[in-house]
Amino acid sequence: MKLSNNLPIKEIKLELEKQLTHSYLEKYIQKPVIDEDKLLILYSIIKNTSYSNIQKKNYIITTMLVQIALDTHDMVTEKNLLNDSDIAKKSRQLTVLAGDYYSGLYYYMLSKLEDIPMIHTLASAIKEINEIKMSIYYQEFDSVQEFMELLKNLESLLIFRVAEHMERSSVNEFTGNWLLTRKLIREKSSFIKKGNSPIFKLLTDGPAHEIHNNQIVYTVDSYIQSYLGRAEETISNLPLHFHSLKTHVNTIIYDNFGQNIKVMEEG
């Protein structure tokens, strides 16, 4: 079957932004940020399948809506409700409802596709992700390395399962290493600029509490370099149709780490 590849990623992103637009919610809560890395990885996985362009677009948007729904629920803070202002309470309540709203959009789009195996794939992934979240937030890890692997799975598992469903799991090793690298970079930036980061707090207060605040940036930097190195090694082995993804990664690495890196040599 001839593959249909004339599906611009800009078109998909515009449609996703349209799905996420809700004027009432935007009055009280921040509009979700689309993770460009996850979107491009999903696009690279799905664009060379034999599905129609409409199906491809719906699969990508549906999966991103699942991810955004999960991320939105994570934004709900755990402050004492009694001490909150009415606006803060309303914001928290609407954040929960927004996550439910994005979940509803995902179910609606899947129902139009009538793809029971894909529905099962995403539902199973959601269950696994929630189990990983419990392991992280109940601090069921005994070392920094174990924590990092849990966080890597949390960031990547939805894409892992979709890639396996599409028989494109060759991208999974790169996906895990790259998405964890990007997550750690964002958390490090938040910690430096704002003095706080949920991930850094887990590392200093959890079972790995031997990491002191004055060591945490150095420790996370070492893991960034480690997982970045793995991402560099694994991206070079991806098939040619991942060219756009390789270019995207090359640009980010060049901008953040300079040009003396292996992945740049791959062109």
Highest mean pLDDT among 91-95, 146-150, 238-242: 146-150
Compute CA distances 199 → 43, 87, 220, whole Å. 28, 27, 10
For the residues 42-61, what does the mean pLDDT come to?
91
The backbone torsions φ and ψ at residue 52, rounded to the nearest 5 degrees and listed phi first, read -70, 165
Highest mean pLDDT among 73-77, 82-86, 128-132, 175-179: 175-179
Helix residue spans in 166-211 (DSSP H):
172-194, 198-205
Tokens of 164: 């396996």
User: pLDDT exceeding 70 applies to what percent of the chain?
Assistant: 75
Q: What is the pLDDT of residue 83?
A: 46
The per-residue pLDDT of the chain, averaged, comes to 80
Query: For residues 95 and 26, what is the distance between their CA atoms, to the nearest angstrom?
Result: 10
The Cβ-side half-sphere exposure at 244, using a 13 Å CA radius, reads 16
Give yes or no for residue 123 having a pLDDT over 70.
Answer: yes
Buried b vs exposed e over 160-171: b needs ≥16 C-beta within 10 Å? bbbbebbebeeb
Model confidence at 2, in pLDDT bands (50, 70, 90)? very low
